[in-house]
Homo-oligomer: A and B are copies of this chain.
Amino acid sequence: MKKTGQATINDVARLAGVSKKTVSRVINRSPLLNDETRDRVEKVIAEIGYVPNPQARALALRRNFLIGLIHDNPNPHMVLNVQQGLLEVLRDTEFELIVHPVDRGAPTMLDDIKRFVERQRPFGVMLLPPISDNDSLAALCRDNGVRYVRMGSAQFDEPLHMVASNDREVVCSAVGHLIEAGHRRIGLVLGPHGFRSALERRRGYEDALDRADITLQRTLVAQGDYTFESGMRAAERLLDLSPRPTAVFCSNDAMAAGVLHTARQRGLDVPRDLSIVGFDDTSIASHLWPPLTTVRWPIATMARAAALKLIGEDDEDSGESLFVSTLIRRASVAAPLE
């Protein structure tokens, strides 16, 4: 055989008494093939344990069998869950996952991704928030014939290219949960400017107040940037207010943990003096004291769906593109004191 020890398509062809092209057809499931020939080739393939060489395929097809994960390192919890979901589908396929983080903010970001796409020629790429917002990235993929799926807090692309969560709706019901418990002065800690998720969650908060005929008070809205520290800062401002809010919805768990931290430093009891709701259901949420009421969105499920869209046949149904989040009720919410 070969010196490398790896069987090639030539070995298969020779042993099966057919041409390379025929073997190639078997591998690529060409429909116009004699069943008998196909069987014979497949038997040889199984016998010698032949697997096509990905590098040669990539060269000939001008397309790699890799799925790229492009992200701007938002929260680690999300990135890892996405990887896990993706890999669950990719495992046992010929695809591998290639991780390519970028620096949103850097002016070279688009060039960087362009180089990545043009050089690696991945089969498809998954775009994570917040950069999934970026329409030029989607266009870049389309122009290069690279499949893509965008993950986001709302549907801003065709179902084939989108896995979205219903942030606005679920936040509305989360804040509604606080209102039902009797709260009227409900603080909001925003996510960072320019993040679609921050916008959607803010809208959900406003929807809930609207629905309950509560006037939106701008002083109750504090800026945050999804970090623990920004949660602390927001809490310092919010808890200085008089009257104090009796509850706070935080646009993610890390900030909720920061709010909790600051509240405790001030001698406040959670949830007696302050109810807190987070978003993400990261592991910290359930391990905090008290355990945090929060929103869980099905990241891994969305990633699995995305993987299927990325590697699926062209003629297949593209599957779900909207995924519902759920409110996880824990001990950080109670009725207000007064």
Contact = CB atoms under 8 A, between A and B. Distances in A.
A76 interface: yes
Contact of A80 (B54, B79, B87, B254): B79
A227 to B, nearest CB: 10
A226 to B, nearest CB: 13
Interface in A231-286: 254, 257-258, 261, 264, 283-284
A96 interface: yes
Interface residues of A, number: 42
A120 interface: yes
B6 A118 contact: yes
A283 B229 CA distance: 12
A257 B10 CA distance: 58
A84 interface: yes
A287 B228 contact: yes
A100 B67 CA distance: 12
Interface stretch (A55-63, A132-140, A303-311): A55-63
B100 A96 contact: yes
Interface of A: 4, 6, 51, 53-56, 58-59, 62, 64, 66, 73, 76-77, 79-80, 83-84, 87, 96-101, 115-116, 118-121, 228, 254, 257-258, 261, 264, 283-284, 287, 289
B97 A99 contact: yes
Nearest to A112: B91
A118 B5 CA distance: 10
Closest 9 A/B residue pairs (Cβ)? A55-B58, A55-B59, A76-B80, A98-B98, A257-B287, A97-B99, A59-B59, A96-B98, A56-B59
B98 A97 contact: yes
In this complex, which of A6, A87, A99, A258 has the most chain B Cβ atoms within 10 angstroms of its Cβ?
A99
A216 to B, nearest CB: 30
Nearest to A258: B287
A62 B4 contact: yes
Contacts of A228: 283, 287
B84 A73 contact: yes
Given A264-B289, A289-B264, A55 B121 contact: yes
Nearest to A232: B287
Given A6-B118, A287-B257, A289-B289, A87 B58 contact: no
Nearest to A101: B87
